A and B are shown apart, each in its own frame.
Chain A
Amino acid sequence: MTKIVAGEPATDEYELELSKKLMEITEPPPDGGLTAWSQVLVSHLLVVNGFGYISSFSLFESHWVAVLGRSASEISWVGSMQMFLLFFVGTLSGRAMDAGFFRSLIYVGCTMQILGTFTTSACQAYWQLFLSQGIANGLGNGLLFTPAVALVGTYFSKKRALALGFAACGAPVGGIVFPIVCRKSENIVLWCI
């Protein structure tokens, strides 16, 4: 690989792109502005979809205990696996983001998250639930969580704690929204059917 030296003109297109990125990263974080705060919104929504959904697991716990006839302990393995994968895969996805795979992580993670949620709605057996909510959703969350946190950190310096605070508030917001959505939509959809 060609070594890039600061100050020397870049010859290759790849080198030019890389030198631009290096110049950008040496600049101090903007600490504000529309782009920076829109990344806080992105991070907030990622946390809503991830932690907010996981934190609403109690909804699923009580439902699946009744429907599948399994013990609360057995059902909670699904949520535990989901949570384990979030943090464990997060250690790897953070490094993948550093390596420049942010977009790929977002696409794959969001797809797995949504796939896991929709397949959960069609589950009829314990293994299906484990696969959809525990594994698919857990892997999706794992791919998204660390990039969500790291993304805000690159845009803020002085206001980093505040920005991360707003992003982290996605967990309680999701935890408030999802149970309400579930309660309301359950009744509405039944009425429509």
Chain B
Amino acid sequence: MHDVRLTFGAFQIARQLEPTVGFAWATRVMGFVMLFNTAVIITLAKPRHASRIKGPLVEWSSFREWPFTLFSIGIFLTLWGVYFAYYYVCTASMISMAAHAQNETLTRVHANIDDHVWEGGHPCLVFNIAHASHHPKRGWHPRSSDPSLTRGQIFRCIQHIDSIRFGFRYPLALLDWSFELQWICRLSDRVRHTLQCRADAVSLDFIQSHHRSE
């Protein structure tokens, strides 16, 4: 009987220690992955830059360009909503999912994969690359960017679908949080949407006028 109790006690301790020990080592493994990446970074990194000793710490004059200002406000509000999902998705999934599915949910959020899309093997990561490569403001280089309104609109739509999914679906549908948080998310999304559309229009006008002048 004593042996059984001892065994049961040891089993309980092991069960309590299991996630802690496992997670500590899992974090260290992530650290080793980062260490490997760092070795590659230090080996390959080669700056192509002339030193600029003088000059202001922050170039405030950049905000005189309307597209830049609007884009800054837009991206501020975009990031405001994005990290709700990243931070709380595992906590939220603890409520409604099995333990093994929690990390998978996080992976899916990052890969931007919906359930039916996952089954079809069609990750939207590809769209993100394509979107980034065609969006003028990502590179902030109006001279060489594609000013095509149609293509810009298509990729903008994809981004809005992404951001709506990130900003609304995961934190609100899974967590069902307080009214205040929902209100902030909705407000920020509406303002961000309006500002980004405006920023798009202004920047496309800017690019087109620049091309015409050339």
Contact = CB atoms under 8 A, between A and B. Distances in A.
Interface of A: 18, 21-22, 24-25, 29, 35, 38-39, 41-42, 45-46, 48-49, 53-59, 61-63, 65-67, 72, 76, 79, 83, 91-92, 95, 97-100, 102-103, 106-107, 110, 113-114, 117-118, 120-122, 151, 153-155, 157-166, 168-169, 171-183, 185-187, 189-190, 193
Contacts of B21: 189-190, 193
Interface stretch (B5-13, B44-52, B188-196, B202-210): B44-52
B173 interface: no
Contacts of A67: 19-20, 23
Contacts of B35: 114
A117 B30 contact: yes
Given A121-B28, A187-B22, A55 B86 contact: yes
Nearest to B76: A87
B53 A49 contact: no
Given A61-B91, A182-B30, A186-B22, A18 B50 contact: yes
B36 to A, nearest CB: 9
B22 A169 contact: no
Q: Which of B20, B26, B57, B111 is packed against the most chain A CB atoms within 10 Å? A: B26
Nearest to A19: B50
30 contacts: A25-B50, A59-B90, A61-B88, A62-B91, A63-B23, A91-B57, A92-B57, A99-B53, A100-B49, A100-B52, A110-B42, A117-B28, A118-B31, A121-B25, A121-B27, A121-B28, A121-B31, A160-B144, A161-B132, A161-B144, A172-B112, A176-B111, A180-B103, A182-B30, A182-B103, A185-B30, A189-B21, A190-B22, A190-B25, A193-B25
Contacts of A113: 34, 38
Given A107-B42, A186-B25, 12 more contacts: A62-B91, A72-B91, A102-B47, A110-B38, A118-B28, A153-B139, A165-B128, A169-B125, A169-B129, A169-B132, A172-B128, A183-B104
Contacts of A92: 57
Contacts of A117: 27-28, 30-31, 34
B47 A154 contact: yes
A82 to B, nearest CB: 10
Interface of B: 18-31, 33-35, 37-38, 40-42, 44-53, 55, 57-58, 83, 86-91, 94, 100, 102-104, 106-107, 109-112, 125, 128-136, 138-139, 141, 143-145
Contact of A95 (B44, B57, B109, B129): B57
A186 B44 CA distance: 31
A117 B29 CA distance: 10
Q: Which of A171, A180, A185 is packed against the most chain B CB atoms within 10 Å? A: A185
A57 B82 CA distance: 13
B44 A175 contact: no
A186 to B, nearest CB: 4
A98 B44 contact: no
A21 to B, nearest CB: 4
